[in-house]
Amino acid sequence: KKVVIITGASRGFGELIAKKFQKENYQVIATMRNVDSSPSLKKLKNIDIKKLDVTIKSDIKNVVDFTIKKHGRIDILINNAGYGAMGFLEEASDEEIKYQFNVNLFGLIDCIKAVIPQMRKQKDGVIINISSIAGRAGLPFTSLYNSSKFAVEGLTESLHYELSLFGIDIKTVAPGSFRTGFHDSIIYTEKEKKDDLAGIRDELKNGIEAGIKDGPPFPFNYGNNNDVAEFVYDCSVNKKKVTNFVGRDTKIINLFIKIFGKRMFFRIIKKIWFSKILTRKKNRWCNTILKDYCLFAFF
């Protein structure tokens, strides 16, 4: 059997991706911080559940060593583990900033470094980094999350060149709006709160919470989570671009930026946020669909 390692497989996309590969007769190494957090995976054959916190290098080494010793190969690595840090940058502590990048970027890098030697030995392998539409365009109040995903995109593009020398394919899959466990893992960076930002901060948090609850309006809407699992599998077994987007909303956003450019995109986002949060005036030149969606599409 071909062997796939998946990080962050306890819920959401990671769990669905694990089930998809298991269904396709792969040997799945489903990793998670708490090995008891996904009872549904324990019931399936061809799945080894292993403890892995991507911020702990010894965990990564243990999983890779176990996989090679038991199965003799590593064909695919799916870097899915991650979370979103939201808030004003000036209110984020050094600890909060570093943890966002330790999980979303440095942990991902450590996982890649750990599997490369085996893939080079095989002269074959696929690495897929689960990114986000947040790696394409930024939004207010999400500077840490956005920058971590931009970094993943840049890292992947650069590694594409060097890993191709060894027969290793690397690419990103960037989902748009889907209702997953990601929303439950959002952390607001507020360890260095500023009193004069309290009112605006609360407004922004309320807006984010409302957007998550209500979801993007038609024609965007939340996508089908299984579509992401199917798409990730397709990217794993077929030749695809280095950067791949999944979800109707991602196509609309990319088309908008391609036609009108990011300058217009920035103007719309500023108009929406400043009118909603600061002046509370109605935005006359942006319809309700675009208004609601632009606020929350990237979460």
Among 19, 20, 149, 171, the active-site one is: 149
Using alpha carbons, select from 151, 147, 186 the residue that is nearest to residue 296.
Answer: 186
Active site residue 83: no
DSSP state of 222: P
Among 10, 132, 143, 236, the active-site one is: 10
- Say if residues 168 and 127 touch (Cβ distance below 8 Å): yes
CA-to-CA separations, 129 to 5, 73, 81, 141, 255, in angstroms, rounded = 12, 19, 9, 24, 23
Among 38, 131, 147, 177, the active-site one is: 131
CA–CA distance, 269 with 296 (Å, rounded to integer): 11
For every residue of 178-218, DSSP letters joined together read: B-SGGGGG-EE--TT--GGGHHHHHHHHHHHHHHHHH-PPT
Among 19, 26, 132, 145, the active-site one is: 145
Instruction: Kindly give the interhelix angle for 57-71 and 107-122, rounded to the nearest 10 degrees.
Output: 20
CA–CA distance, 2 with 22 (Å, rounded to integer): 10
Residues 6+ apart with CB under 8 A from 12: 180, 181, 182, 225
CA–CA distance, 13 with 129 (Å, rounded to integer): 12
Peptide bond into 219 cis (omega under 30): yes
CA–CA distance, 55 with 40 (Å, rounded to integer): 25
Residue 258 buriedness (CB in 10 A; 0-12 / 13-18 / 19+): exposed
Active site residue 233: no
Catalytic residues: 10, 131, 145, 149
